[in-house]
Structure 1
Amino acid sequence: QILCVAWADEAPRMASLGGRVSMSSLLSAVLIILALRTSCAAMSADIEAELAKRVSAAVNGSRFDDVSVFLGDASGEMLSYRKGGGAPEWEGVMPVASASKWVSAIILMHLVEDGFLSLDSRPAEVLPFWNASGPASRVTLAHLLAFTSGYQGNDESACVFVFGQPRSPLQCAPIIYAGFVNMTNEPGTVFAYYNDHLEVAAAMAEVVTGKSWDELYNEYLRSPLGLSEGSRFEGV
């Protein structure tokens, strides 16, 4: 109850804050309020009103035309706010983009746990087309998961963000490989946030298991968690 009182006392000060509310400040407020919600029997109406105000300010001030925010806990929905006619619906299906990275990492670590791969496994050992010498020959699964392979992009890659033209990781990996062939960075020395790292890792998974990435997703995540049919991988 002390936490509830302390936060309620802050509500007037929060309400007096002027200017544009940033998405980072919104996230901070949301995390604090959700934490308090789990520790209090009931939320103050003033606190929920302040949260709604902050959500709407952040969303309306963002550069995105279509935005949805849904907040809740085990007891149900706490708040929802939508901006734009194309804002996602609660029950809608949509690409999750980079949110798929941690999902992919979970699947890959399951394969490590089951002995199909190790963090020291190399594309050069698993992928038949990976014939590079030099730094590219020393790239490991650990480097791919950490985005530290030394790879810094490939202008020829047609596999990133190509929705509506699904390709499997094994179809993408040879295209991505062109960017690895002549790289000069030693693995582990450069951080570069590219989807291509996980495409290569997923291709390794398909080779060692003989299963498609979608099958692996279903086996290790969707089925065990009881997720709906709308939760799936469809190529890249």
Structure 2
Amino acid sequence: MKKIIILLSTIITLITAQDLQKTVQSTVTIYSEESNNTGILLLTEEKGSTFKASAGLADRKSKEEIHTDDLFEIGSASKMFTAIAIFQLIEQGKLSLDTSLGKLYPKGKIRALANFKGKNYWDDVTVGMLLNHTSGFIDYLNVYGDDAKAIEIYSDKSKVYTFDTIIDLALNFGDANFKPGTAFKYCNTGYIILGDIISKVSGMNWHDFIEKHIFDKAGVKRTYFGTRLPEGIRKKMPKGYIFGKLTSMPMALADSAGEIVSNLDDLTRLIDTWKEGGYYKKDETLQIQKTQGYHRMDPAITNMNYGYGLMEIDGYYGHGGQTFGFESYVTTNPDNNNTYIVGTNDAMVRSMALFMKMAGIEYKYFPEH
């Protein structure tokens, strides 16, 4: 009798797993078909099982299909790992959330980023404000207010992007948006500075620091920085699109705000290692990052918040990303242990929307909205 019960339990588990796999694949296929056969990649960890699905095209010209082990640009999902590196340095006593940028950059033109209404607030800006987008700095990637114009300007392959030239891009568009610490406004410029801070404080190039202290700890093998991606591997990646056109993003332009390239399996290892506290020596560090510093990303939406390098929505922690040709969403829920990784090779096909559909989450609005 005991053997029969075990056998029945195993059969039920197998049927449930098969049904879930069919649901995952069907959802991804429909999402791709509704998005002009965009390449869609999805990994879910639910109920102790892992399911992967892919649909759509890696190359619209050759009609080559996308596959679950393909690499894709994760864009701003990279910010989560930049933030983790900062918290590791905080654990080492080399920084704090309250460390002033005035201490780290006592002079130089960079200080003008904090000019606001005739006064300079540079010394009031902290590392924590860079992490949770409350510095008020101009976002160098979103100064044009038009994606098509930004892509046209920033795709110029003759331009060389460095820390200084990126800071200049932000400085060229005038004063800060607000006095630091008084509001939330998403800002890539802050994460460019955080990368430089990692290099400055650790004594290692920020790429090397993240590789050693994050990639190696998670045991990933197919995660790269876009500026260091071997050309042979780059050529095998899915093509990226926006507005129906083939495009590419200079990875040096994204820098520590968004230049990581990875795949479903590696991203799962990376975020699950974070969830398990594997990057930190103290659980307190994980709890501070997970629970503090939050602001609503949209004043009208009550369940979507941004903290110290984390987007939080209904108990899921992670980050989304967009480059000139890709979209991503990487997120996990420590309470139910579910993880979702989404990638698309069209910058206008939203990965977050697919995650929310799979997780059964809807935006919650204030009554007046």
After superposition, give the CA deviation of every residue in 1:138-195 in whole Å (9 maximum; x if it has no partner).
Answer: 1111000000111243449x9x976977755x44564256269732611121211122
After superposition, give the CA deviation of every residue in 1:195-224 in whole Å (9 maximum; x if it has no partner).
Answer: 211111111221122211111112211122
Mapped to 2, the partners of 1:233 and 1:114 lie a distance apart of: 28
Mapped to 2, the partners of 1:230 and 1:68 lie a distance apart of: 16
Q: Which residue of 1 aligns with 2:96?
A: 118
- CA RMSD, 1 decimal: 3.5
Q: Does 1:141 align with 2:119?
A: no
Segments of structure 1 that go 5 or more residues without pairing to the other structure are 1-39
Q: Which residue of 1 aligns with 2:71?
A: 93
Q: Which residue of 2 aligns with 1:65?
A: 38
After superposition, give the CA deviation of every residue in 1:93-131 in whole Å (9 maximum; x if it has no partner).
Answer: 332101101111111110111112111112222124244
Question: Cα distance 1:67–1:55, how it changes in 2: closer, same or farther (>3 A)?
Answer: closer
Q: Which residue of 2 aligns with 1:198?
A: 191
Question: Cα distance 1:177–1:85, how it changes in 2: closer, same or farther (>3 A)?
Answer: closer
Question: Cα distance 1:193–1:110, how it changes in 2: closer, same or farther (>3 A)?
Answer: same
Question: Cα distance 1:43–1:105, how it changes in 2: closer, same or farther (>3 A)?
Answer: farther
- Secondary structure in 1 aligned to 2:55? strand
Contact persistence 1:144–1:197 (CA under 8 A) = yes
Q: Does 1:225 align with 2:222?
A: no
Mapped to 2, the partners of 1:122 and 1:177 lie a distance apart of: 20
Q: Which residue of 1 aligns with 2:84?
A: 106
Q: Which residue of 1 aligns with 2:292?
A: none
Mapped to 2, the partners of 1:191 and 1:64 lie a distance apart of: 36
- Secondary structure in 2 aligned to 1:81? strand
- 1:82 aligned to 55, 59, 73, which one? 55
| Matched AA of 2:204 | K
Mapped to 1, the partners of 2:173 and 2:193 lie a distance apart of: 11
Q: CA deviation at 1:70?
A: 3.8
Higher relative contact order (CA 8 A, sep 6+): 2
Q: Which residue of 1 aligns with 2:14?
A: 42
Mapped to 2, the partners of 1:175 and 1:205 lie a distance apart of: 20
Tell me which protein shows more helix as a share of its residues: 1
How many correspondences in the alignment?
194
Mapped to 2, the partners of 1:90 and 1:163 lie a distance apart of: 31
Contact persistence 1:153–1:194 (CA under 8 A) = yes
Q: Does 1:213 align with 2:191?
A: no
| Matched AA of 2:133 | F
Q: Which residue of 1 aligns with 2:27?
A: 54
Q: Which residue of 2 aligns with 1:15?
A: none
Mapped to 2, the partners of 1:64 and 1:124 lie a distance apart of: 49
What's the % identity of the aligned pairs?
19
- Secondary structure in 2 aligned to 1:42? helix
Question: Cα distance 1:47–1:200, how it changes in 2: closer, same or farther (>3 A)?
Answer: closer
Question: Cα distance 1:81–1:99, how it changes in 2: closer, same or farther (>3 A)?
Answer: same
Mapped to 2, the partners of 1:64 and 1:219 lie a distance apart of: 37
Segments of structure 2 that go 5 or more residues without pairing to the other structure are 1-11, 60-64, 113-118, 145-149, 228-251, 256-369
